[in-house]
Amino acid sequence: MSLYVAGMLAASAYHMQATIQLAAGFNVQLWSFHHDILALRNGHLVVLSNSIRQMTGLPGQSGSVPVLGDVIVDLDTNLQPVWVWNAFDHLDINRPLLFPDWTHGNALLYSSSDGQLLISMRHQNWILKLDYRDGQGSGDVLWRLGPGGDFTLKSGIDPTDWFYAQHGPSFFSTNTSGVFSLGVMDNGNDRKFAAGVVCGGANAPPCQYATVPVLEVDEGAKTATLTYHQVLPPTDYSYFGGNTEFMEDGDIAYTLCTLKGLPSAKVNESTGTGTSQTVWEMDMNTLNAVIYRATRLPSLYPGVQW
């Protein structure tokens, strides 16, 4: 039996807007908290937030432009900021994919193997690893996973088979550094194709489609090998939201937040080896809602697993 908890979104925004000046000498003013929060084993909370800067001389822009960039804040057990990471201090503002929402972080992962942080940035088509080291790190970007990043894609076509506008990554292995496995919901909004491939035409791939990739990431060799890659049909194209999870029996669960731009959604569980086969599906088409993420629970009772 599968028991799922789904996070639904109405048409209204999912941001809690607040303008907050951080204490403890951190020179950043937050615009909002958004998308994700991590509860760490030391009792700290790592929250995803953002800030706005007025920028000039930006590619394709004229005059002064307000740019929204991500900020990560580590709050101690007294909810005081003790470590802050600011995208404006570490990323190239001249790599715009969509202004003014420059980075659009949407998920955080804590790497228990080495105490580092991963952040998924939808508008950069990247997952970044940051030098966090349980609050003692410099904040440097250790690597960028995705098209145009630091890794060579194996067992797939570069750039087509990378993830684009992604959501909801999760570790698919107990080890989370060195050589490890990472799953992600590839929404595929702005997918790039190999030279000479024109999407949308006769005998050509659709321009927009979603996939569920699982990558074996080798940090030393800087390779990302596709070990699983479920390409979803156009009817299951989900342009935002969603997530992936690895099940104990080897199956892969994924959430399709919204289908074909309509307020409808599905949660699917498929076999994780060989030709992918659907073994369970929850269709939410009649609820007139979208599902941002869904997660499987063993049961509602402590120590009980169905």
Q: Is residue 50 part of a domain?
A: yes
- Give residue 202's pLDDT: 85
- Is the sign of the CA dihedral 293, 184, 200, 235 positive or negative? negative
Question: Which tokens sit at 71?
Answer: 């900020």
Q: Is residue 292 part of a domain?
A: yes
Q: Is residue 283 part of a domain?
A: yes
Q: Is residue 303 part of a domain?
A: no
- Give residue 297's pLDDT: 85
**Taking the model in full, what pTM does it have?**
0.91
Q: Is residue 302 part of a domain?
A: no
Q: Is residue 257 part of a domain?
A: yes
Q: Is residue 175 part of a domain?
A: yes
- Give residue 5's pLDDT: 57
Q: Is residue 305 part of a domain?
A: no
Q: Split the chain (306 residues) into runs of 10 and give each run's mean pLDDT.
A: 49 41 71 94 96 88 91 94 95 83 96 98 97 97 98 97 98 98 97 92 90 98 97 92 93 91 85 86 81 88 83
Q: How many CB atoms lie within 10 A of CB 122?
A: 23
Number of domains in the chain: 1
Report, in angstroms and rounded to the nearest whole number, the Rg of the chain calculated over CA atoms: 19
CATH number at residue 118: 2.130.10
Q: How many CB atoms lie within 10 A of CB 3?
A: 12
Q: Which domain holds residue 239?
A: 3-297
